[in-house]
Every structure is written in C-alpha cells, then in structure tokens.
Structure 1
Amino acid sequence: MNIGHQILFFISTLGAFNGIILSLYLFLIKKRRSTAVIFLYILLLSLSIRIGKSVFLYFNPSLPKIYLQIGLSACFLIGPSVYYFFRSAMTKATHIPNSWKWSWGIQAGILILGGILVPYQTYPEIWNNIIVYIIYAQWLIYLIATGFLLKSVLKTFFTMPSTLNDTEKFWVMLFLGNSIIYLAYLLSFASIINGMYISGPVLFTLMLYLAIFFNLSGTKFEVTETAVKTEKRKIAATDAVVWIERLENAILGKALYKDPNLKLSDLAKAINISVHQLSQLLNDNIGKSFSTYINEYRIHEACRLINTNGHLTFEAIGYEVGYNSKSTFYAAFRKIKATTPALYKESAENAP
C-alpha cells in the first residue's frame, strides 16, 4: 500500500470510526433524546457500518462474506433513517407514531429473516443479483420522498440561500450529502464510473465533520419552539423584494384573499417559503400582521365593489371578498377605513 492509499484508507476509516462513536454518543450519553435524534443515531450508525464495510472491501477484496452481508444490511436502514429523521425534525414529533413503528417493524423483520434464511455466504448470487437491487431501489425511494418533504427548503437554498437559518442549512447538507453518497455507490455498482466506490467513504467523512461543526456551533438538528421565537435575523432587502413581489402576484393573481379559510401556512405554500419566513417577511419587512395584510386586500376589493356594484348588499360584498360573517366584515372595514361601509358609500356618492 503506497502513501496515497494509506492517506485514503486513513481518511475513510476515520469517518466510519468517528461516525460510530458519535452515534453511540447520541444514543447513550445525550439526555432527553428527541424522536429526530433517535433517527439521526440510526442513520449515523447505519452509514458508518456501510462505510466501514466499503473501506475494508476496497483495500481487502477477499473480505469474509459475513462482513459484506452486514454492510449491505445496514444500507437497508439508511433510506428510512433519512426520511423519518426529517419527518420528525420538521414536525417536531415528540414520540414515534404507531404507523412509523409498524413500518420499521416490517422492514426490520424483512432484514433479519432475510439474513437468516438467505445468508450471503450461502447465496451470494441472490444477494448480488436481486437483494442488492432491492436495497438500492428502497434507498432511492426514501431519498425521493425526503426530497418532497424538503421541497420548499431546497428551493430556497438554490434561489435565496442567505434566508435559510442554520437548522435548515444543516438539513440541506445532510440531505445532499446522503444523495451524493448514494449516487457514488450507485455509479460504482453500475460500473459507470470507475473509482467511485471509495468516494462514498470520503464523502461521508466530509459530511460527518461538517455535521460536527454545525453541532459545535450551536445549530439545532430540528426546529424547536424556542428557536422559532428567538430567531430575529432580518431577511436581506434584495431577497425581501423578490418575495414581496411573489407574494403580491399570488394574492392578486389567484385572488387568495377571497378564501375565508386562508391561513398563513396556505400562503407560505403558495409562494414556496416556510411559515416562519413568511411571518418574518410580513412583520419585519412589510410591517404588518398576516390578518392586517389580508384584510387590506379584502377591504380594497370591497370598496371597489361598493363603488361599481350598487345592487349588491353590504353583506353580499363581505362574503364576496372573503369574510364569512357580516360582523367580521364590518369590524375589518371600520379598522381599515375608520368608517362603516354605509358611510363610505354615502361619502363616495356625494363626492364631487
């Protein structure tokens, strides 16, 4: 083994070893393990075992079959770990739902029974020609599902990365890192690019130390109520201009304000940003609450209808612009225009 191979072996094994140590730390030492941290522990341990097997196989092709089976079996847990980490982190899950337990139980059963009934040592052809395809397909399906979970965060990362908070940046790093590791293994497995097999361990080492850096700098792995309340970083002016324009286009183009059940989350989804970012945009950059912002559009449209559609009653106008009761419409009108609909109409009719 020359000096280059020695360095490559050291870097690769360092990541696998430290990954196991970190996963054990999360499991044994860290107090009050949240649901997200449990899945992060499983992810790190699974990746570390898979990476360790890759390193030793790369430098020792005659590695016993049992180690190959362990490495591929661990690979079967990577996809689910990634997906359920993000599910629990993004929803602030405090416990593991029964549906998740059933999903994990079924997959763990398949993993254990499959390993016992069809061991790699006895059936290498089945593992190499069937099982490995199932493992990579399952991993890919979970990565795609995770990408849909992170769709708005990923879109923001590629368009306005400066608006992401540290937790969201960690999420992007973790997802893209796993995707690149998967791609490295897939390209190597398909013999498309030679030398990609060892790239997985090297990339994992890099990803692991970036994760450690994020953690040491105080970044939370998941969204917490405290983090949402205390984060007051102002959105950059250039990004705010883009978002405000997108917000106005959605409000007017789709007449979203006419929906009496419109919520902040609905509006955030319509313009592909997080609820927290939209709330921050409205409060810090526009200087209005969500209700005030929407009411202004509704009352502006109500005034237009009062001026142009004399046959409509005030109650009908209120329903038309998005209010589900006459009293709510009157209260909002008085707050925005400092008068009642009737007095506004009388004033408009008497205007020269």
Structure 2
Amino acid sequence: MSEINTLAAFYAFSGGALWLLGSLVFIGFDKVNIQANRWLGAFYCIMACAFTQLFLEGFGIGGGFLIHLLELPRWAMLPCLYMAVTYYTSPSLPKKDWLIHFVPFLLFLLFSLVYLMPIMFNAQSHLPALPSWIGFIVRYFFFGQMVYYWIVCFVLLRRHQKNVKMIASFTEKINMEWLKYLLISVLVLILIRILSISNIHVTYYSPILYFLGIILLAYSTLTQKSIYAIETYQPEEKYGTAPKKVLNERLTLEQVEELKHIIMRKTVGEKLYLDPSLTLSVLSAKIGISTHELSYVLNNGVGKSFYQFINELRTEEAKTLLLSEDTRHLDMLGVAIRAGFNSKTTFYTTFKKATNLTPKEYIKANSAAS
C-alpha cells in the first residue's frame, strides 16, 4: 500500500506543477501572446484539476462531491488547447464560433447541476443506475475528444508554418517550432492515458510517466517566443486556396509570363532580396501588383513559394560572396547578412539544400577546382 501511495504522490507533483504553470501562463509571463496564453493557462489549470483528482483518489482523500467538482471541467480541457493554438497561429482572425467547442462541456455541466449534484448533497441518496449509452458517453467521449482536438491543433500549426513561407523570407521567429514540441508533449500524455487502459505495466508506472511528460510540456511552454507582427496571407477563399478557375480568369498565361519577367527584373535587377525583412506585401508594393497576383505568379509561373524564391536568390548571392576576395574578411554570419539572410540557421539550411554542400565545403570545393 505504501508503494502505491508513493507512486500516487507523483500525481501531486504533476498537479502542483500544472497549477503553477497554468497560473504563470494565464497571468501573462509573455505580454505579447496574451489571449493565446490565457486559453493555454486555462488548459493547464483544467489538467491540474485532473491530476489533483487522481492524487486524492489514490490516497482516499476527499468525498465524492469534491472529486466530481475536479472532474467537471474536463470536457473543456482540449477545447481550451484548441483556442490557444488558434490564437497563436492566427491572432488577428475573428473567433466567432468559439462557443460551439464548449457545447459538450456545457451540456455535461447542466446535466451535473440538474441531475448529479442535488443527489450528492443528500447523503442518504444514491446515484441511480444511468442508461448504458450515457455511461458510454461519459466514459469514452473524452478520449475521442482528446484525439480529435490534438489532430486539429497539429493541422493548424502545420498550416501556419506553411503560410509563413508564403509571405515571409524568414521564419525562425514566427514558425512557432516550440508549439510543435508542446503538442508532441501533449500527445505523449494522451498516449500514456490510452495505453494505461490496456497495459498493466503502463498503468502501474503512469504517475511517473505523466510527471516526465509534464516536465517536457512545461519546458516547451516556457521557451515560447512572442508572435512577431507580420501580415497574414489570406487566400480569396476564407479557408483554402482560391479555385484555379477564378485565378485563371484574372490572369491569362500571357499575363503570368509578363508578370514573371517583371518580378524577376525588379527583384534580381534591383537586388530587392538583400532586404532581410522582405515580405510578400513589401515586394508586391515595390512591383506594383497585389499580394494574391504575386503569390499566384510565383507558385504557378516560377514554381516556388515566396520563401523559396527569395532565399534561393540569396543563396546565389552568397555563392558569389563566398568566393569573392572583397569579402574574405567576413565570417559566415557576415556573409549571410550581406546576402540578405537574417540568421545563420536559414543561411546554412537553404545553402545546403540548394548545393548539397555547407558554405565551407563550397569554398573548399571551388578553391580546389580553380
């Protein structure tokens, strides 16, 4: 019994860590991502309720009413995570349909207030047997909800990471890689919960496994970066790319070729790609066309995203700089900045992808050839 209690104590550690993390995030340790962090803080606080409940049950502390109160907000947990990810990935878009995600929680709350709690207040009463279908929903709906919302959150993140390459030539500060690791940490917790149902060994060690997963979760959260101000590329259809038929009616093949030559002439001829802060809207303004037309011509006429187009031009500039006598005094970061990159990471990644060589290997290979 003492060994079981020792393991159950990890539920207390997990619950305490989540209460602290949720309070810290909700209050706002990051003054930029405020709305998103409030939803994320609510997600952590509800998760803390779940682990507090497991701790009390493990040690036989508290009555049924307290346990039920801690369990009550559980169906709102994953919708809170969804709302947080929504605000992180698209903070400027309206969230008109947010309440619909909390309908199951509100129904369960209403069911509890009308049916369960009055019986719990009466010590002489016992909960009557519920219909089997209600028991099934209460028992298994949460698992389906966890899986569904995790998938939706991951899709939102991947869409955001794809979107930033449509509008920006730099991604380190806006691709929210930390959020990917946060979602992976949540997935680990979900898998532990699912496996603990069928595997007795996972069930036995689940308090420790949960605690380790929450450490990863806390690290991912506390290393988050602010959402930097950048325009959002909005296709003509609200939640997808505009139909090609509509775009083809606007731009003929001849117009696409003509705009392609203008884009290349302005971007390459005036070396606009050397601006590290160049974005889709900035380039479209310099060329004199809309962002949708520029994006369409790049994707269909050049066959590249904005990110690929600009960074490949910067790579060609970097090749020249690396072999130039005038820039031999520069280190790799200096070459990267001179070529228009705003970070060494993007420079190395793009250069290696384009040439299959690192910048130093490129210098060595061309020095040997000459």
For 1:128 and 1:69, locate their aligned partners in 2 and report how far apart those are by CA, in whole Å: 15
For 2:213 and 2:100, locate their aligned partners in 1 and report how far apart those are by CA, in whole Å: 26
Give the partner amino acid of 2:197.
Answer: F
For 2:24 and 2:102, locate their aligned partners in 1 and report how far apart those are by CA, in whole Å: 24
Counterpart position of 1:90:
89
Offset of 1:40 from its aligned partner?
Answer: 0.8
SS at match of 1:150: helix
Give the partner amino acid of 2:53.
Answer: K
Q: For residues 137-160 of structure 1, what are the alpha-carbon distances to aligned partners after superposition, in whole Å with 9 as ceiling and x for unaligned?
A: 2222211212222336799xxxxx
For the structure 1 residues 129 and 48, does the alpha-carbon distance in structure 2 shift closer, same or farther, using more than 3 Å as the test? same
Counterpart position of 1:207:
216
For the structure 1 residues 208 and 146, does the alpha-carbon distance in structure 2 shift closer, same or farther, using more than 3 Å as the test? closer
For the structure 1 residues 279 and 76, does the alpha-carbon distance in structure 2 shift closer, same or farther, using more than 3 Å as the test? farther
Counterpart position of 1:77:
76
For 1:153 and 1:32, locate their aligned partners in 2 and report how far apart those are by CA, in whole Å: 18
Q: For residues 134-193 of structure 1, what are the alpha-carbon distances to aligned partners after superposition, in whole Å with 9 as ceiling and x for unaligned?
A: 2222222211212222336799xxxxxxx8668623111111111121121122235575
Task: Assess if the C-alpha contact under 8 Å between 2:185 and 2:217 holds in 1.
Answer: no
Task: Assess if the C-alpha contact under 8 Å between 1:15 and 1:204 holds in 2.
Answer: no
For 1:25 and 1:75, locate their aligned partners in 2 and report how far apart those are by CA, in whole Å: 20
Counterpart position of 1:177:
185
Counterpart position of 1:135:
142
* Residue pairs, 1:4-43, within 5 angstroms: 6=6, 8-28=7-27, 30=29, 34-43=34-43
Runs (4 or more) in structure 1 with deviation over 6 Å come to 257-260, 265-268
Counterpart position of 1:281:
311
Offset of 1:55 from its aligned partner?
Answer: 3.1
Q: For residues 252-297 of structure 1, what are the alpha-carbon distances to aligned partners after superposition, in whole Å with 9 as ceiling and x for unaligned?
A: xxxxx769855549978xxxx997x547634643559xxxxxxxxx
User: CA-atom RMSD, angstroms?
Assistant: 4.5
SS at match of 2:176: helix
Offset of 1:196 from its aligned partner?
Answer: 5.9
SS at match of 1:97: coil
For the structure 1 residues 265 and 198, does the alpha-carbon distance in structure 2 shift closer, same or farther, using more than 3 Å as the test? farther
Task: Assess if the C-alpha contact under 8 Å between 1:27 and 1:38 holds in 2.
Answer: yes
Instruction: Give TM-score, length-normalised by structure 2.
Output: 0.52
Aligned residues: 244
SS at match of 2:204: coil
For the structure 1 residues 28 and 168, does the alpha-carbon distance in structure 2 shift closer, same or farther, using more than 3 Å as the test? closer
Counterpart position of 1:225:
229
165-174 vs 189-198, greater mean Cα deviation? 189-198
For the structure 1 residues 17 and 149, does the alpha-carbon distance in structure 2 shift closer, same or farther, using more than 3 Å as the test? same
SS at match of 1:119: helix
For 1:37 and 1:286, locate their aligned partners in 2 and report how far apart those are by CA, in whole Å: 41
Counterpart position of 1:327:
none
Q: Which runs of 5+ in 2 are unaligned?
A: 121-126, 163-170, 233-255, 260-291, 319-370
Offset of 1:210 from its aligned partner?
Answer: 1.1
Task: Assess if the C-alpha contact under 8 Å between 1:54 and 1:198 holds in 2.
Answer: no
* Residue pairs, 1:244-255, within 5 angstroms: none
Task: Assess if the C-alpha contact under 8 Å between 1:19 and 1:45 holds in 2.
Answer: yes
Counterpart position of 1:300:
none
Give the partner amino acid of 2:229.
Answer: E
Counterpart position of 2:239:
none
For 2:183 and 2:50, locate their aligned partners in 1 and report how far apart those are by CA, in whole Å: 17
For 2:293 and 2:89, locate their aligned partners in 1 and report how far apart those are by CA, in whole Å: 22
Match 2:97 to one of 80, 84, 99:
99
For 2:305 and 2:153, locate their aligned partners in 1 and report how far apart those are by CA, in whole Å: 16
Task: Assess if the C-alpha contact under 8 Å between 1:184 and 1:197 holds in 2.
Answer: yes
Q: For residues 224-246 of structure 1, what are the alpha-carbon distances to aligned partners after superposition, in whole Å with 9 as ceiling and x for unaligned?
A: 21799xxxxxxxxxxxxxxxxxx
Q: For residues 315-337 of structure 1, what are the alpha-carbon distances to aligned partners after superposition, in whole Å with 9 as ceiling and x for unaligned?
A: xxxxxxxxxxxxxxxxxxxxxxx
Counterpart position of 1:234:
none
For 2:47 and 2:83, locate their aligned partners in 1 and report how far apart those are by CA, in whole Å: 15
Q: For residues 100-144 of structure 1, what are the alpha-carbon distances to aligned partners after superposition, in whole Å with 9 as ceiling and x for unaligned?
A: 1x3255344223202213428526766753312122222222112
SS at match of 2:116: coil
* Residue pairs, 1:260-299, within 5 angstroms: 263-264=294-295, 278=308, 281-282=311-312, 284-286=314-316
